[in-house]
Amino acid sequence: MQIAVLAVQGAFIEHEYMLSRLGVESFELRQKSDLDKPFDGLIIPGGESTVQGKLIRELDMFDTLKSRISDGLPVFGTCAGLILLAKEIKNDSRVHLASMDITAVRNAYGRQLGSFFTEGFFKGVGKIPMTFIRAPFIESVRGDVEVLATCGGNIVAARQKNQLVTSFHSELNDDLSVHKYFLDMIGR
Ligand code: GLN
């Protein structure tokens, strides 16, 4: 199995480290030609969604990523990655890959005090650590989106078919269970 990690900006190295701990190979998507390599799943990391959205357009990766996801490519978006996948962003008029039937709120916990750690239940997994950094949450879901975790009444993890998103950074804790969940989605 080979996982592509979008590596134009943000916390991509941490995801590669998690995958290597799970014995899974990965490579970085830095430019359009990297999309020619075969891969079974895609991770969109945390960082700054506006910058990542701009760069995937400028690097001409946008259309290929969007069509691969709509064709069923398993994708895991964390934090900014969640925002990139959301069909609606409540406090931003610009959407990006817009493939998942969720409404995201950017910087939903406030800009200054928006970073915190907690533990919460993730459906089918149990209690896991959750690190939030100027994180979004999901205000509402539609269609066949399954809510996987909530925190303080807000949705912080969800899945729709081949797409998994979390508001929190599971790559910044020791716990491998969300990455394992994603690999199970791919069907290893
Ligand atoms: N606040 C960032 C954004 O709106 C997301 C933060 C993160 O990925 N840690 O894109």
**CB-based burial, 143-164: b 16+ in 10 Å, e otherwise:** eebeebbbbeebbbbbbbebbb
The candidate with the shortest Cα–Cα distance to 129, out of 157, 108, 153, 104, is: 157
Catalytic residue list: 79, 169, 171
Report whether pLDDT(110) > 90. no
77 CB within 6 A, ligand 1: no
140-155 pLDDT, tens digit each:
999 999 999 999 999 9
Whole-angstrom CA distances from 86 to 9, 10, 177 are 18, 18, 23
In testing the pocket of ligand 1, which one of 55, 134, 170 has its CB within 8 Å of the most ligand atoms?
Answer: 134
Q: Which CATH architecture has domain 2-187?
A: 3-Layer(aba) Sandwich (3.40)
Q: Confidence band (pLDDT; 50, 70, 90) for 42?
A: very high
Mean pLDDT of 9-23: 98
Ligand 1 centroid – CA 121 distance (Å): 22
Domain assignments of the chain as residue spans, ordered by start: 2-187
Ligand 1 centroid – CA 169 distance (Å): 10
